[in-house]
Amino acid sequence: GLSNLPLARKLVTIRDDIELPLDFDALVPGKPDVARLAALYQRLGFKTWLEELEGSHAREGGHPVSEAGDELDSRLRGNDKSAKTRVDTVLDEKALDAMVARLSKAKLICLDTETDALDSMQAGLVGLVGLSFAVEAGHGWYVPVGHNYLGAPQQLPMDLVLSRLKALLQDEKKPKLGQHIKYDINVLSRYGIAVKGVAFDTMLESYVLDAAGWRHDMDSMAEQHLGHKTITFEDVAGKGKTQVSFAQVAVDKAAEYAAEDADITLRLHQVLYPKVAEVPALKNVLETIEMPLVPVLARVEQNGVLVDSAMLKRISHELGLRMEALQKECFKEAGGEFNLGSPLQLQQILYERLKLPVLAKTPKGQPSTAEDVLAQLAEQHQLPKLILDWRELSKLRSTYTESLPLAINPQTGRIHTSYAQAVAATGRLSSNDPNLQNIPVRTEEGRRIRQAFVAPAGRQLLSIDYSQIELRLMAHLSGDPRLTRAFKSGHDIHKATAAEVFGVPLENVSAEQRRAVKAINFGLIYGMSAFGLAKQLDVSRGEAQAYMDTFFARYEGVKAYMDRTRETAREQGYVETLFGRRLYLPNIRSKNAPLRQYAERTAINAPLQGTAADLIKLAMIELHAFLERDAPEVLMIMQVHDELVFEGPQRRLAELAPSLADRMCRVARLSVPLVADWGLGANWDAAHTSQGHASGPNQ
């Protein structure tokens, strides 16, 4: 108001009556303190300025900031973290024997493979080009075995190299280190080497330290933690159309690149592991969850899953026919033909021809045709609903029915997805190339696609999934007596909760009451607001708020847990899972309300989703060990969030199913029982029909 104007004027007025300790002529730039500037730029991640600083320092006669032995670098980073790697290229048996002797005596062996392909399941067949090793910082070996360009030097035969290394690589008592070492395990497995003693992975050390705070690829980590700019793949292989395969890279260039990879990985481990070890909970996450999971995931990827490509082709054809029918309906509703995949043409139809209201705009100011907008417009006109249906079928067709057959490995006849451990901030695994975790489970089309995931003749698939795992974790973490009792009763949790919330006997709970409470139950996990609940239930915001108020009045422990979690996150800047995994929340104290509110919702969700991720990982480790020991004929072939899928002989799988489900429920003791449902079938969809369940013990 008017009362603030004098203060505002005072704040914007430049004072010109202050006595200063120096005059204008003295205000000239002094000589920069390059060491302090470089340290600051490094800490803040100002890569371009750091490069400019290095360049100007070199032009002025100084040593390059990142060169070995540089005085400035040693003052900045200590020791020789960014020193250039000393390379030994192994081209004869004498050098190979000397290297193997050094590796045999080393306390830790850093290993890296170079191949002709990024897909490790293909790389084992396309070609292993070389191996690199390091056992001390500053030095690395490169053993070329597959460079085949014109004029390439004579290299040791691959069979000879692998035979000399096999015992060492398969020795459980010789600890191994790598950067994303699962890739190397998979590559070498195709050559008959089962790498054992996998003790450390720098990617996972970085991920456990701060999952979302920085990138976990080696090049980024080298700059972040060592101040070292690595030789990149493009530096040695070229870019774009001129890029050659690694087998075509000159051996001397390849040696510098590959030996540096092993050396830098070792140096990163020497920086990162002590930081992990400083926090016992993080050390526990790394050593009891993430590292033991690496060989398990490698084996799951190697196993792969059989897919019926002929069935996918039929489904694709059917989806195409349905899309054509929907397209005709769209043309009818729009009053003319248009390209359904064109946002611009759809804008013109919806907002100019049909005069529908503009509910949201794109960053460029155009009327939005995003899915959430179309869902709202569908209440006013049939065309947006038809467009949404067409888009869903188009996505399924392009992502799955057309693409999955192309992902079948020609040598194995199976699809081998890759599970990424260091992507999701909460600790969840993600599936790539192809992604098998986003196939819809509740739609008819999604179920049809899952029917194409089949077992070979004489074998079946077994699916086991945790039941309502995150809600059970909410009961455990909150300690709410009513929610705990609802789970212990073994009743339908949503019905039991509705009986509490609405104060009616269990048998009198209506379908509408159950639906409302189910929305609240799952909304709790994601910190849903009354506005979000109103939208989901199609009720007024006031009615949704009344539902939530009633819920929290009955489940005071849940409300207290949510408030406590938000407060803890604000105080310490992070939240933890039951097992000590951390998720840092830099925006939890932000003055920007949307950013802060998102961080608060994440603070509630992350311990639940992260603990669920930890539990399924522990289950994979436990079941893999059991199967290797007692039932090697049964394969673990997929992980989809809270579900594990196995393939095995029909009779043996039926015999083991209850035991495997029971083991999944016993990986942790909670205040409420863990429950896992299981089913058997000739395909993945059939295995989703529950035939039994196991229930773990309470605390």
Span 550-576, average pLDDT: 92
Nearest to 144, CA basis, from 262, 266, 246: 246
Q: Which helix (H) or strand (E) holds 307?
A: strand 305-307
Do the beta carbons of residue 200 and residue 207 sit within 8 Å?
no
Beta strands 86-89 and 139-144 are parallel
Confidence class of residue 124 from pLDDT cuts 50, 70 and 90? very low
Token pair for 259: 């030996």
Confidence class of residue 68 from pLDDT cuts 50, 70 and 90? very low
Coil vs helix vs strand at 434 = coil
| Least confident range of 33-47, 365-379, 525-539, 583-597 | 33-47
Q: 0.75 exceeded by the pTM?
A: yes
**What are the respective helix, strand and coil percentages of the chain, to the nearest 5?**
55, 15, 30
Backbone angles phi, psi at 401, to 5 degrees: -65, -30
How far is Cα 400 from Cα 407, in angstroms, rounded to an integer? 10
Span 655-671, average pLDDT: 95
Q: Please give the full DSSP string across 503-523, using - where no structure is assigned.
A: T--GGG--HHHHHHHHHHHHH
| Percentage, residues of the chain above pLDDT 70 | 92
Classify burial at 94, counting beta carbons within 10 Å of its beta carbon; exposed 0-12, middle 13-18, buried 19 or more. Answer: exposed
How far is Cα 364 from Cα 661, in angstroms, rounded to an integer? 52
Q: Name the residue type at position 56.
A: S
Nearest to 333, CA basis, from 271, 381, 405, 267: 381
Please enumerate in sequence order all residues whose Cβ is within 8 A of that of 612, keeping only pairs 6 or more positions apart, or say none.
Answer: 466, 469, 470, 473, 641, 642
Handedness of CA 504, 505, 508, 513 (dihedral sign): positive
Statement: residue 503 has pLDDT above 70: yes
Backbone angles phi, psi at 679, to 5 degrees: -155, 155
Please state, rounded to an integer, the average pLDDT across all residues of the chain.
Answer: 89
How far is Cα 486 from Cα 493, in angstroms, rounded to an integer? 6
Statement: residue 65 has pLDDT above 60: no
Span 186-207, average pLDDT: 96
Do the beta carbons of residue 322 and residue 329 sit within 8 Å?
no
Beta strands 635-640 and 643-649 are antiparallel
Q: Which helix (H) or strand (E) holds 142?
A: strand 139-144
Do the beta carbons of residue 491 and residue 569 sit within 8 Å?
no
What pLDDT is recorded for position 25?
Answer: 66
> What is the Cα 181 distance to its own chain's centre?
16
Span 292-318, average pLDDT: 96
Span 189-206, average pLDDT: 96
Nearest to 305, CA basis, from 205, 199, 451: 451
How far is Cα 670 from Cα 477, in angstroms, rounded to an integer? 9
Confidence class of residue 54 from pLDDT cuts 50, 70 and 90? low
How far is Cα 438 from Cα 446, in angstroms, rounded to an integer? 9
